[in-house]
């Protein structure tokens, strides 16, 4: 898809389709009005006849209307002036989805001309480009034969107002850069677990390092991790024929003196539960148990594509959790890299074990802040549903992340992480166990992690409810890459100063 921003007139724009907004009260924003006048009120006639649906994103097309240069005029019902960010984007998504089903190969869109109480045209264009990339996202790698393709291959966010062109241009480029991270995250997560193994993730990280000059990638294998004493991560990996990897992607976008933000992702490429095996129903979805890692890849890609002036390290603990004659078992006591010992009460609480060592190791980067991302608990889905990721940990950092979620439409909500929750992890034989029982299960998982982040400015994000499904389909949403991108932008504002 070729994306551009253009300043042009809606009447003379030559394109397969010109997208024109119609306000909720049927009034016509300027570009729509201009075309309506040029073509003898043909648009008004259609609208007055009631042929344009009322819900945001409804479309109605007119072909080869006299007076307009475009092949098709596509009228689009605009969002309400007070619509939320999500509602605006959903409207764009609906409109663009129907556009992709038309025969148009190029589109010039004036959708950002519909007014909004809070969002400027460039902010609307940002949402429009995200919706476009979402609506045209495919994952066909594993389909034989020719998957049905949309003919749409060029899209311009347009404005008749020359003074706002530069802003819209920047918004289009930024949204496209961020979505390149979202798309990478989605691609990795959608890749089946027989292909997307820890070694596959490490190879993908090395390839990403070659794509960006500012990125340095290193990978630790089992031997190196054993030397470092990563008894928790390695215990999880032991049941699998696919060896584990610990990946670091160091992005330098600011002066060296600025401490990096370190993102640490849970990369369990498949979670059977191990000896505490999961029920068969929907177990296939545990291929998404590396969505934390996928989000880290996505955030690194987005930061590099935006050339953000901040320092960032993406760390991924990549492991597969399988039952086996050599698998770790309930009752085992593990010694983590930190020296703390853990009694395993359930081998299905493996993500926190992987993160324990990955977080301990990540202290070597002397982080300004450390954020881990993990599809960590089913309890998180119970607590917040699929609308918000959970954040917990350092209150100021959590506030920044919740704010970044608000601003990007990729929402998160804080859960309390009081010391009281640590009691649920008490163990008779070890320092603590990996199981907190069902009350507050998302929080006790966070409490477990807090044992490995002492002295750090740290927050934990549980993305079990948000990383998938997406728009009713069993595939990755790419969340929370947009939240992280927004957060990193705010960091860059301080690190570039
Ligand atoms: N990967 C799962 C969590 C999960 C389950 C995410 C379903 C998304 C959907 C994690 O490793 C796990 O199995 N957690 C257990 C923890 C329990 C044993 C303390 C859970 O949530 O049941
Ligand atoms: Mn598990
Ligand atoms: Zn898991």
Check pocket membership of 11 for ligand 1, CB cut-off 6 A: no
- Do residues 74 and 212 share a domain? no
Cα separation, 288 vs 8, in Å, equals 44
Distance between CA atoms of residues 14 and 11, nearest Å: 9
Q: Which domain holds residue 92?
A: 2-178
Residue for token digits 């950092």?
Answer: 397
Based on the domain organization, do 139 and 286 belong to the same domain? no
Residue 443 CB coordination number (10 Å): 25
Ligand nearest to the CA of 267: 3
Are residues 113 and 205 both part of a single domain? no
Q: What is the CA radius of gyration of the chain?
A: 24
State whether the beta carbon of 390 lies less than 6 angstroms from ligand 1: no
- pTM, to two decimals: 0.98
Same domain, residue pair 157 and 212: no
Which domain-ending residue is among 123, 146, 178?
A: 178
Please tell me the residue having the least CA distance from ligand 1 atom 9.
378
Q: Is 493 helix (H, G, I), strand (E, B) or coil?
A: helix
Q: Are 130 and 180 in contact (CB under 8 A)?
A: no
**Shortest-distance atom of ligand 1 to CA 289:** 1
Active centre residues (catalytic): 278, 352
Domain at 150, CATH number: 3.40.220.10
Please report where in the chains the tokens 């495919």 appear, as a residue.
138
Report which of 376, 383, 385, 215 is spatially closest to residue 290, judged by C-alpha positions: 376
Tell the residue number behind the tokens 């924003």, with chain if given: 29
CA distances from 214 to 185, 301, 305 (A): 19, 11, 10
For residue 358, the SS3 value is: helix
Cα separation, 278 vs 254, whole angstroms = 45
CA distance 490 to 486: 7
For strands 261-271 and 311-321, give the pairing.
parallel
Atom in ligand 1 nearest the alpha carbon of residue 379: 21
Whether residues 76 and 155 fall in one domain: yes
Task: Write down the pLDDT at residue 149.
Answer: 82
3-state secondary structure of 243: coil
Kindly give the distance from the C-alpha atom of residue 236 to the centroid of ligand 1, in angstroms, as a whole number.
14
Phi, psi of 224 (to 5 degrees): -60, -40
Closest listed residue to residue 134, CA positions, set 185, 195, 84, 170: 185
User: Do 292 and 173 share a domain, yes or no?
Assistant: no
Q: Decide: 378 in ligand 1 pocket, CB within 6 A.
A: yes
CATH number at 458 reads 3.40.630.10
| Rounded CA separation 382/402 (Å) | 19
Q: Is residue 403 a part of any domain in this protein? A: yes
289 lines ligand 1 (CB under 6 A): yes
Cα-to-centroid distance, 364 and ligand 2 (Å): 27
Closest CA to 321 of 362, 361, 297, 352: 352
| Number of domains, the chain | 2
Residue 381 lies in a domain: yes
Enumerate residues 6+ apart whose C-beta is below 8 A from 146.
Answer: none
**Which one, of 82, 83, 161, lies nearest residue 121 by Cα?**
161
> Domain ends where: 178, 213, 244?
178
Same domain, 172 and 120: yes
The neighbour count for residue 140, using CB atoms within 10 Å, is 11
Asked, for residue 185, whether it belongs to a domain, the answer is no
Both 205 and 153 in one domain: the answer is no
Cross-sheet strand order for the sheet of 341-343: 333-335, 341-343, 432-433
In 50-115, alpha helices (H) = 85-100
Q: β-strands 341-343, 59-63: how paired? A: unpaired
239 lies in a domain?
yes
Q: Verify whether ligand 1 is closer than 6 Å to residue 330 (CB atom).
A: no
Tokens of 361: 């190791």
pLDDT of residue 145: 87
Q: Which residues touch 212 (CB under 8 Å, ≥6 apart)?
A: 251, 304
Q: Are 219 and 143 found together in one domain?
A: no
Ligand 2 centroid, distance to 347 Cα (angstroms):
7
- Residue 461 covered by a domain: yes
pLDDT tens, position by position, for the chain (497 residues)?
999 999 999 999 999 999 999 999 999 999 999 999 999 999 999 999 999 999 999 999 999 999 999 999 999 999 999 999 999 999 999 999 999 999 999 999 999 999 999 999 999 999 999 999 999 999 999 999 887 788 999 999 999 999 999 999 999 999 999 999 999 999 999 999 999 999 999 999 999 999 999 999 999 999 999 999 999 999 999 999 999 999 999 999 999 999 999 999 999 999 999 999 999 999 999 999 999 999 999 999 999 999 999 999 999 999 999 999 999 999 999 999 999 999 999 999 999 999 999 999 999 999 999 999 999 999 999 999 999 999 999 999 999 999 999 999 999 999 999 999 999 999 999 999 999 999 999 999 999 999 999 999 999 999 999 999 999 999 999 999 999 999 999 999 999 87
In DSSP terms, 20 is beta-bridged to 75
Cα-Cα-Cα-Cα dihedral sign, residues 6, 120, 476, 221: positive
- Tokens found for residue 182: 């979202």
Q: Which ranges constitute the DSSP H helices of 275-321?
A: 291-306
Q: Nearest 5°: CA angle at 161, between 160 and 164?
A: 130
Measuring CA to CA, which residue among 287, 331, 272, 98 is closest to residue 193? 287
DSSP-assigned beta bridge partners for residue 390: 413, 462
Structural domain contains residue 67:
yes
The two tokens of residue 84 are 């939320």
Report the C-alpha gap between 197 and 205 in whole angstroms.
12
Q: Are residues 335 and 224 in the same domain?
A: yes
Helix (H, G, I), strand (E, B) or coil at 368: coil
Return the bridge partners of 370, or none: 262, 458
Ligand 1, atom 5: closest residue by C-alpha: 378
Q: Among residues 147, 178, 209, which one ends one of the domains?
A: 178
In this predicted structure, what is the pLDDT of residue 81? Answer: 97
> Are 156 and 195 within one domain?
no
Q: For residue 51, which of 37, 64, 41, 61 has the smallest C-alpha distance? A: 61
Residue 397 lies in a domain: yes
> For 112-164, where are the alpha helices, taking DSSP H only?
121-135
Residues 161 and 126 in one domain: yes
In a domain, 184, yes or no: no
List the Cα angle 477/479/484 in 5-degree steps.
155
């Amino acid at each position: 898809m070729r994306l551009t921003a253009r300043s042009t007139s809606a009447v003379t724009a030559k394109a397969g389709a010109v997208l024109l907004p119609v306000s909720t009260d049927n009034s016509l924003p300027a570009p729509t009005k201009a075309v309506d006048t040029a073509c003898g009120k043909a648009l008004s006639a259609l609208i007055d006849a009631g042929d344009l649906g009322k819900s945001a994103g409804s479309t109605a097309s007119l072909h080869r209307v006299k007076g307009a240069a475009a092949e098709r005029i596509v009228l689009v019902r605009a969002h309400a002036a007070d619509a939320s960010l999500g509602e605006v984007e959903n409207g764009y998504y609906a409109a663009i989805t129907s556009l992709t089903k038309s025969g148009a190969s190029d589109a010039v869109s004036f959708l950002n001309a519909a007014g909004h109480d809070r969002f400027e045209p460039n902010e609307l264009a940002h949402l429009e480009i995200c919706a476009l990339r979402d609506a045209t996202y495919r994952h066909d790698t594993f389909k034989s034969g020719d998957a049905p393709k949309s003919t749409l291959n060029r899209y311009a966010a347009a404005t008749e107002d020359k003074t706002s062109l530069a802003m819209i241009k920047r918004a289009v480029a930024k949204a496209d850069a961020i979505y390149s991270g979202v798309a990478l995250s989605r691609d990795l997560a959608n890749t089946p677990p027989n292909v997307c193994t820890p070694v596959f993730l490490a190879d993908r990280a090395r390839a990403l390092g070659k794509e960006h000059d500012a990125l340095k990638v290193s990978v630790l294998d089992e031997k190196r991790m054993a030397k470092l004493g990563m008894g928790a991560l390695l215990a999880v990996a032991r049941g699998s024929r696919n060896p584990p990897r610990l990946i670091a992607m160091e992005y330098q976008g600011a002066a060296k003196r600025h401490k990096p933000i370190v993102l640490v992702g849970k990369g369990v490429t498949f979670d059977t539960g191990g000896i505490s095996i999961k029920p068969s129903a929907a177990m296939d979805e545990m291929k998404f148990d590396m969505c934390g890692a996928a989000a880290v890849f996505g955030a690194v890609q987005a930061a590099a594509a935006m050339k953000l002036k901040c320092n960032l390290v993406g760390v991924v603990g990549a492991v597969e959790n399988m039952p086996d004659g050599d698998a770790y078992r309930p009752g085992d006591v593990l010694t983590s890299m930190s020296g703390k010992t853990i009694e395993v009460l359930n081998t299905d609480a493996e993500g926190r074990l992987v993160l324990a060592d990955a977080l301990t190791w990540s202290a070597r980067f002397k982080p300004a802040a450390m954020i881990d991302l993990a599809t960590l608990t089913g309890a998180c889905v119970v607590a917040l549903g699929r609308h918000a990721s959970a954040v917990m940990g350092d209150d100021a950092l959590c506030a920044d992340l919740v704010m970044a979620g608000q601003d990007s439409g990729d929402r998160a909500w804080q859960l309390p992480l009081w010391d009281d929750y640590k009691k649920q992890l008490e163990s008779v034989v070890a320092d603590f166990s990996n199981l907190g029982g069902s009350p507050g299960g998302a929080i006790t998982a966070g409490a477990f992690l807090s044992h490995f982040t002492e002295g750090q400015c740290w927050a934990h994000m549980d993305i079990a409810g948000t990383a998938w499904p997406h728009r009713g389909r069993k595939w990755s949403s790419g969340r929370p890459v947009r939240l992280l991108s927004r957060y990193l932008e705010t960091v860059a504002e301080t690190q570039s100063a």
